[in-house]
Structure 1
Amino acid sequence: MTPILSVQDLTVAFRVERAWRPVVHGVSFEIGPRETVALVGESGSGKSVTALSIMRLTPRDSSRIGGRVLLEGRDLLGLPEPAMRRIRGDDVAMIFQEPMTSLNPVLTVGFQIAEALMLHRGLSRAAAEAETVRLFDKVRIPGAASRVHDYPHRFSGGMRQRVMIAMALACRPKLLIADEPTTALDVTIQAQILDLIKLLQDEEDMSVLFITHDMGVVAEIADRTVVMVDGRAVESGPTDDIFRRPTHPYSRALLAAVPRLGSMRGRPHPTRFPIVDRVTGEPEVVPDMPDTVAPEGRPVLEVRDLTTRFEIRGGLLSRVRGRVHAVENVSFSLRAGETLALVGESGCGKSTTGRSVLRLIEPLSGSVLLDGEDILALAPADLRERRRRMQMIFQDPFASLDPRMSVGAAIAEPLLINRLASRREAGDRAADLLRRVGLKPEMAGRYPHEFSGGQRQRICIARALAVEPRLIVADESVSALDVSVKAQVVNLMLDLQASLGLAYLFISHDMAVVERVSHRVAVMYLGEIVEIGPRAAIFGAPQHPYTRKLLAAVPVPDPGRRRQMHAVRSDEIKSPIRPVGYVPPERLYREVSPGHAVQVWGPEWEAAVPAAAA
């Protein structure tokens, strides 16, 4: 059978300071009709550059592409630019990781798709608009006829990615290249997008090149897999073979770091990820973690009836038109040495809860007790002093660090501001903290751009530890990291908790990671906690339909389930915006087992998850 795409000995080099630097070294693979091939590797492995080179989208003046890229026998690298422009979007289409940067913010999404239809398929304006509505229906965008006239900012992340898929399918391409299309999405939205790509592939007889670093996603979607590291393809073959019998040490290291739902069954305490040496392939012995939770005494953090709302103003006099009920009557406690995970989709209020606890956002009402002292009642000067005991690790470490400040100075800064050390002592302490988080003390003089994403997150952890806090709020602190780097950072956090007795409020939408690191779990939906309890109870016997929906959407790293669809409805999370004067209904909770409470739900939740998934 003739392959749709044949990549033969592909090489790519970029001009760096008047010299050519090779970044892809002799990569070869084929994609057959209706086949999905996954290109897998960590950031910097060369997988996205490989995809851009196939499309000839690398900068013309500063890049060199060698080898052959045959599309049904036609070498794309030898085509003139006008011919290549006709192929892009027509025969080969591409979906990028961040749809908001791929869509023009000043044009409606319907116009942007219609433009491609008029250019490539020669349709009239009316016919192109009608086809756009059909495409929106095809990718399951609710209210397609009315939404084609909306601008990109009016869509959620998952719906924007659906728009990009509709645009890619507009000209019925033979090959779809999907470059990390689900990395930035919540687990439920990711499940919907993966199901959509599988469905459309069958309907359109399309081949797919799927680029990702998530081995769980690879197992769900790929027929064959190519593993890349340092610009080289080190292993390729059927996905089943690579998962069951990986031959290269790097492949074994990637698979060992994949968080697997259910792997903590029977383990009473959080456990470090197993790490496999990427050179030798030898696994690290994973010791059982000690019980770090303080058995008695007052909790470090006690949150009661926390409520945070944001006013929406409009009109000539900027009157209040409505309010965003971001956090509504949330209560929980956290002991020293304990990790409580807050989980839920984007917009559920979990990050706002974390920021409200630290008073980075001012709550409307409730109480936040840190070691028995109400943080919400403190004056600004007193609050500044108490913040030494509670720190935050943010999702994007690069945005959290001053690019003009060396990392040593960034770590020492909290010590100097709080007058906890002299300049020399702060420098020594910064070097010691770098060593503690697995970096070298001599790295203190470098700047943030000189580190990888995982190293930058370690630096942010070191900075948070500088003032010896009792509580750390980790807001999606590992969600943007590659799978093996994520495992290393999680292991570091667990080691620090065991040695320092830290209390973690771990905010995440990654249920497999949450299962490994948490003692207790609180599930949030529309600003409210709908279920809270011990980790084993939440994952072993989930009660609320929304909890079951989250768990049903988690990718399972088992290629045998590749053609199975997720039991997840394709609806969006509801809006938390309420009219002025809205009074939230009183919520009732029932205790189903010791420490495991679930919110009593109404008939609107009955069809949230099919019975088979429950």
Structure 2
Amino acid sequence: MSSATEPTLRIENLTVAFRTDDQWREVVKNLSLTLNAGETLAIVGESGSGKSVTSMAIMRLLNMRHARISGSVLLNGVDLLKLSESAMRDIRGNAVAMIFQEPMTSLNPSFTIGHQIAEALINHRRISKRAAREETIRLLDKVRIPDAAKRFDDYPHHFSGGMRQRVMIAMALALRPKLLIADEPTTALDVTIQGQILDLIKTLQEEEGTAVLFITHDMGVVAEVADRTLVMYQGDVVETGTTAAIFSTPAADYTRTLIATVPQPGAMRGISGPQKFALPGAELEATAPSVTAQQPLLSVKNLSTRFSVHEGLFSRKTGAVHAVENISFDLMPGETLSLVGESGCGKSTTGRSLTRLVKASAGQINFDGHDVLQLSNPELRQLRSAMQMIFQDPFASLNPRMSVMEALTEPFLQHRLGDKAAAAHKAGTLLERVGLSAGMLKRYPHEFSGGQRQRICIARALMLDPKMIIADESVSALDVTVKAQIINLLLDLQRSLGLSYLFISHDMAVVERISHRVAVMLLGEIVEIGPRVAIFENPQHEYTRKLLSSVPVPDPARRHLKRNVEIRELTSPVRALGFVPETRHYREVSAGHWVMQ
């Protein structure tokens, strides 16, 4: 029997090792922590630190043929590591629940979301289907799913990413667990949806008194949700304490680095150009010169891109997705223009339309004096050497069967810019330029970390001496310190090579660091565009203000505040046949700062 003061969770000397190459490698080393009812403890660290393995060990979800666990994990005084598998099944979902990072891989696409939540209630509470349905609808209401009763029979693919994560939270809380483990629950979400989810977890915790173990690499999120924080690095606990103390007087160098990479809202006030992150060895000066050119490198006029929607037995066209709708903007030589907005706003389709990876429906694209939409395929191929793209997932962008040498030299040789010797020399030089070693050219993609692979993709883009790079969510999947390093690298390259960037992102904190100008997109349209200072310090459109208010602030004093962001899903961009969009009008607020009326 546990005492009244017994912590909800007590971990003592937890060590987890995995068997690789006939050896045991420890990935979590002698971890100890306590977590009380109603308290939030954040475990923070980058990929490979052991934080997610810790959560999997608590839930006993590791494959014990390849893993070895020692120590103790006590839930209300009961050691979970000593329970039988059948007893552990009763614990999972009932006393301990878990929210994973990617809800679409956690939800079964073959069953409705109502069925999946009700199933847990029926199996654990032994209640009728009717009672389970009523309770499920109550839970969906509680996590702010609009029209919960009507959406009980919807499938996961009918929901947006944020709404799917709400379903996962409803499922996790269905049996009122004493402990909720949230493993990177907001990392894959847009900033406004992230704000909603953080508010929701706070509210539900207050109502139920649940203990929350919050796992993340984002120190901005930690500051807003955690009472206490535990910092991990390569399996070791490097620092632990109250969140306020961790932020005000961090003891470990690694913790100081993590905090330094969290953009401080307002820190860019009075600075007109981009600025590097304050990493060890990085200077704080603006690293990209002011833009003085008179003629744009890229000019986009009334660009629209639509995708046909076909339905029925004969695949009859019934409408179109208006992914990009009548947008116009210029990009100057040496300038960074950021396209920002939530998933589905059309920013990635815009980038792909510029390079004709997708076919534009209407408009004009003029790049370096060339009408892009009128070019023949050979002409377009030649032009693409000056307009390169860097994608979000560097591993998917690199052929796993090609060495780094082959990946870098292939475009150079295909465009016949020199022989193999010249290509190899340039590849080695560029690899050094992006912070890697020329000795790594013989390696393959799987031998590099995510940040190193993204550096390789940047080097590959530079092989053709481009004038412009379209960076499509190119740092979204990276750890916080690696993200800061890549941003600093891009700014250094812009200064030395005069590159122009079209930077596509939903991360407003990163956008504030890297941009000269910002264009805010909503449902395929630009609703506000202007200098970065104007957009961040004097936002005019309601949607822009909503995006900015949702950025996590690295201030532990805000821990109990809620943003109260309006809960809604983005309106569908699908339009019926014959739909004619209304003519939009813009008002100039200040020099170069335009907002849709």
Q: Same fold (TM over 0.5)?
A: yes
User: Partner residue of 2:570?
Assistant: 573
Following TM superposition, where does structure 1 have runs of at least 4 consecutive aligned residues deviating by more than 4 angstroms?
Answer: none
Which amino acid in the other structure matches residue 216 of structure 2? Answer: T
**Hey, what's the Cα distance between the residues in 2 that align with 1:288 and 1:475?**
23
**Residues 292, 498 of structure 1: 8 Å contact kept:** no
**Hey, what's the Cα distance between the residues in 2 that align with 1:403 and 1:77?**
39
Q: Residue 399 of structure 1 aligns to a residue in which SS?
A: helix
Q: Residue 12 of structure 2 aligns to a residue in which SS?
A: strand
Q: Residue 564 of structure 1 aligns to a residue in which SS?
A: coil
Which amino acid in the other structure matches residue 46 of structure 1? Answer: G
**Hey, what's the Cα distance between the residues in 1 that align with 2:266 and 2:318?**
46
Q: What displacement does 1:29 show?
A: 0.8
Question: Which residue, 316, 324, 347 being the options, matches 2:344?
Answer: 347
Unaligned runs of 5+ in 2: none
Q: Residue 186 of structure 2 aligns to a residue in which SS?
A: coil
Q: Does 1:270 align with 2:269?
A: no
Q: Residue 339 of structure 2 aligns to a residue in which SS?
A: strand
Unaligned runs of 5+ in 1: 277-282, 601-614
Q: What displacement does 1:290 show?
A: 4.7
**Residues 306, 321 of structure 2: 8 Å contact kept:** yes
Question: Which residue, 414, 417, 424 being the options, matches 1:417?
Answer: 414
User: Partner residue of 2:105?
Assistant: 101
User: Partner residue of 1:64?
Assistant: 68
**Hey, what's the Cα distance between the residues in 2 that align with 1:595 and 1:22?**
56
**Hey, what's the Cα distance between the residues in 2 that align with 1:560 and 1:156?**
31
User: Partner residue of 2:92?
Assistant: 88
User: Partner residue of 1:146?
Assistant: 150
**Hey, what's the Cα distance between the residues in 2 that align with 1:296 and 1:56?**
60
What does 1:523-562 align with in structure 2 at a 5 Å threshold? 523-562=520-559
What does 1:294-373 align with in structure 2 at a 5 Å threshold? 295-373=292-370
**Residues 276, 283 of structure 2: 8 Å contact kept:** no
**Hey, what's the Cα distance between the residues in 2 that align with 1:290 and 1:501?**
9
Q: What displacement does 1:288 show?
A: 3.5
Q: Residue 441 of structure 2 aligns to a residue in which SS?
A: helix
Q: What displacement does 1:424 show?
A: 2.0
Question: Which residue, 212, 216, 228 being the options, matches 2:216?
Answer: 212
Q: Does 1:114 align with 2:118?
A: yes
Q: What displacement does 1:106 show?
A: 0.8
Q: Does 1:475 align with 2:468?
A: no
**Residues 409, 427 of structure 1: 8 Å contact kept:** no
The farther-off stretch of 122-131 and 472-481 is 122-131
**Hey, what's the Cα distance between the residues in 2 that align with 1:90 and 1:233?**
29
**Residues 339, 520 of structure 1: 8 Å contact kept:** yes
**Hey, what's the Cα distance between the residues in 2 that align with 1:192 and 1:133?**
20
Q: Does 1:129 align with 2:133?
A: yes
Q: What displacement does 1:297 show?
A: 3.6
What does 1:395-406 align with in structure 2 at a 5 Å threshold? 395-406=392-403
Question: Which residue, 42, 46, 58 being the options, matches 2:46?
Answer: 42
Q: What displacement does 1:286 show?
A: 2.4
What does 1:410-489 align with in structure 2 at a 5 Å threshold? 410-489=407-486
**Residues 304, 332 of structure 1: 8 Å contact kept:** yes
Q: Residue 272 of structure 2 aligns to a residue in which SS?
A: coil
Q: What displacement does 1:137 show?
A: 0.5
**Hey, what's the Cα distance between the residues in 1 that align with 2:515 and 2:164?**
32
Q: What displacement does 1:260 show?
A: 2.0
**Residues 261, 511 of structure 1: 8 Å contact kept:** no
User: Partner residue of 2:13?
Assistant: 9
**Residues 18, 67 of structure 2: 8 Å contact kept:** yes
Q: How big is each residue's C-alpha offset from its partner over 1:91-128, in whole Å with a ceiling of 9 and x where there is no partner?
A: 00001001111111111111111111111111111111
Which amino acid in the other structure matches residue 517 of structure 1? Answer: I
**Residues 298, 372 of structure 1: 8 Å contact kept:** no
**Hey, what's the Cα distance between the residues in 2 that align with 1:296 and 1:176?**
54
**Residues 292, 501 of structure 1: 8 Å contact kept:** no
**Residues 298, 371 of structure 1: 8 Å contact kept:** no
RMSD: 0.9
Which amino acid in the other structure matches residue 67 of structure 2? Answer: S
Q: What displacement does 1:292 show?
A: 4.7
- If the length of structure 1 is used for normalisation, what is the TM-score? 0.96
**Hey, what's the Cα distance between the residues in 2 that align with 1:296 and 1:135?**
57
User: Partner residue of 1:516?
Assistant: 513
Question: Which residue, 236, 243, 250 being the options, matches 1:246?
Answer: 250
Q: What displacement does 1:364 show?
A: 0.4
**Residues 552, 567 of structure 1: 8 Å contact kept:** no
Q: What displacement does 1:261 show?
A: 2.0
**Residues 161, 181 of structure 1: 8 Å contact kept:** yes
**Hey, what's the Cα distance between the residues in 1 that align with 2:105 and 2:286?**
44
